[in-house]
Amino acid sequence: MIRLLAVDIDGTLLDSRGRLPDAHRQALADAAARGVAIALVTGRSFHFTHDVTDALGLPVTLIVNNGAVVKHPGGETLMRHLLPRETALHVLGGTPGYEDSVAVVFDRRDARQIVFERMDWTHPNRRGYYERNKAYIAEVSPLAHAIDEDPIQVMFNGSVRPMRELAAALRAMPGSDHFSVALTEYEPRDFSLLDVNRAGCTKGSTLAAWAGATGVAREDVMAVGDNLNDVAMLEFAGTAVVMGNAAPELKARGFRLTGTNDDDGLAAAVRASLGI
């Protein structure tokens, strides 16, 4: 029996234009009415989820920053897995040449939640993000001076191939056992997000911890996702479903497949699994 439904946001809950389909909202509402707890499990930062939770209009738990933080929509922190300050500095020191594509993310309530050194926010793949989040973004040079406390993560972004190369370099870096690397790729846009989190911190590890804290067995968890950063979450869940628009590497893993995010695929998966 499914008691906890873990849903990725971008590419899963939202359609390809970033909108919440009525069918997806209604399917989650029907699941909640049956007593199923809903967790939105995303690479987004907490402040970047408000529009989604407002549109959804349901009681949810937010597992954000690829598992680093768990919050209620009102802002109460339930779990945190911060990246040690020394590790963040080590990552920055070991990645010269990426100053124009890296930021450090903090769990703060002021305008210094996302700190960068010299990011070009006019780039088409960054401009929309900047416009929606500029109230939380601050510039500090050099970036290392901004790391005066443990951050949530170090976040890189860029074209797919350079970010894959960076991910490989980070995983081979001395001290890589002190952090984890998560890639989220949008190949049609030639754009990737690379998050460096605390060692062992993934969507899956935090979903497992949250399920345990709320008394939900693994076999009673359903997860739905579409990207590489969803792998650990899908591997943990007793019922795992990938979207029809999912990355080919994710589809190749043999998870159950549903329709695309433009074809009400999440709603179909939820209704089939819950029998509603």
User: Does the pLDDT value for residue 68 go beyond 80?
Assistant: yes
The tokens of 1 are what? 């029996």
pLDDT band at 10 (very low <50, low <70, confident <90, very high): very high
* pTM for this predicted structure: 0.95
Task: For residue range 208-222, list pLDDT tens digits in order.
Answer: 999 999 999 999 999
C-alpha torsion angle, residues 43, 71, 3, 206 (rounded to 10): 50
Which domains, and CATH codes, for the chain?
Answer: 4-81+202-274 (3.40.50.1000), 85-198 (3.30.1240.10)
For residue 159, the model assigns a pLDDT of 94
For residue 109, the model assigns a pLDDT of 80
The tokens of 112 are what? 């210094």
For 108, phi and psi rounded to 5 degrees?
Answer: -130, 170
Task: For residue range 115-147, list pLDDT tens digits in order.
Answer: 999 988 888 889 888 888 888 999 999 999 999
